[in-house]
Structure 1
Amino acid sequence: MARNTQSGWAHAAPYLAALKKDVDGVYACHTGGLSPRFVKAWSDAGLKGRIPLVGVGTLTDENILKAMGDEAVGVITSLIYSAALDSPANKKFAASYEKRYNRTTSLYSAEGYTGARFYYEALKAVNGDVEDKEKFLAALRKVEIGDDARGPLRMDDLGNPIQNVYIRKVERVGGQLQNAVIHTYPTVSQFWTYNRGEYLKLPAYDRNNPPCKFCE
């Protein structure tokens, strides 16, 4: 069953009360201030430890995680980055970022850094000549970064990133909450395991497609 929460909802209790007792888990898609409110309500309702809570990566983004407590421990999310990613490239990026801005890295800072690197590499390839737009765009699509904070990155021929996707679990380490990486799906394209040709034949994605027969 999928249930849409109203924008700006004040209380999650009505939605949590509607959960069936035999559900295998709950997937939460929240961002911003709604994320800590939902996770806290989840715990207060006695559901923590009884029903698995998984969600979109922004549910426990580092900018939001600092506003949460132990109620968030155990929440599982997927995203293309984690500040806790254990790689030399991310450790270097995170240390430099935190030193300069006095805050933990997050999806948004990592994406901004990656985007700047892509432009930088493409600019080098065309010797700074961006007047020839097609040449610059072609160079941009050819950029491959093997040591990005998020992991190896490159573009497909349609201009979409091929990148790692991380499964993260909130853990408390050294007194701080973090999105510990528990599994990595390497080099995921926009088509993932789908047949590219068949996928491109499908109608454009929108709020009505694909249909959700269990939505309320």
Structure 2
Amino acid sequence: MSVKILIADDHPLFRAAMCHALTSVEHLELVETSTFPDTLSYLEDFQDIDLLFLDLTMPGNEGLNGLAQVHALYPDVLVIVITAQEEADVMAKSFALGASGFIPKSASVECIIDAVNTVLDGETWIPPTVQVPSDSQQNSAASNASSVSDQGDFTARLKQLTPHQLKVLRMVSDGLLNKQIAYELAISESTVKQHVSAVLRKLGVINRTKAGIAFKNAMHLN
């Protein structure tokens, strides 16, 4: 049985290098996208992807927003983050948001192949030069969000949100009012208020302003 992998990256040469690196792995079917909207469209239209290589800085993907969206919409798709951002904080946030692997773009072919095999075996893969993040490290991934309560890590809590709640939170973080959110999503203002209340409860914050600030901090790559 073949495994279908989607390589989502905006650099043709890098996609070609990834495809070449994976030619030695048996029973793989590779497809490619170059923008985040195209990636979401492919996932929605075909829904047959087993593993997604996701570039954090491809067009349409702002920071870790794309990873959060994919996990909310397609929780069964395994995601390996591929990025030039090699900071430990970015990696910790990626794992907290549901990534199964984290590959710096400087990684060798051997590392890429090992990452695929490891993740498909149901385990987490990180660069061999980096220590596995401890619980305390993951819990500090969103430490800049100082308004969040002490109960766990804010970034990990984002995984509790439904796709609609995540959209509402993203719009709240952009400063949109309930009326504006209702218009953008074609839902009632009352429904928006229900989503906001649910978001605040799940994230453990006391108001929408604090939720928006914490979300932006959690999604930021630096």
Of structures 1 and 2, the one scoring higher in RCO (CA 8 A, sep 6+) is: 1
Whose strand fraction is larger, Structure 1's or Structure 2's?
A: 1
CA radius of gyration, larger in: 1
- TM-score by shorter chain over 0.5: no
TM-score (norm 2): 0.28
Q: Which has the higher helix share?
A: 2
**What TM-score do the two structures reach when normalised by structure 1?**
0.28
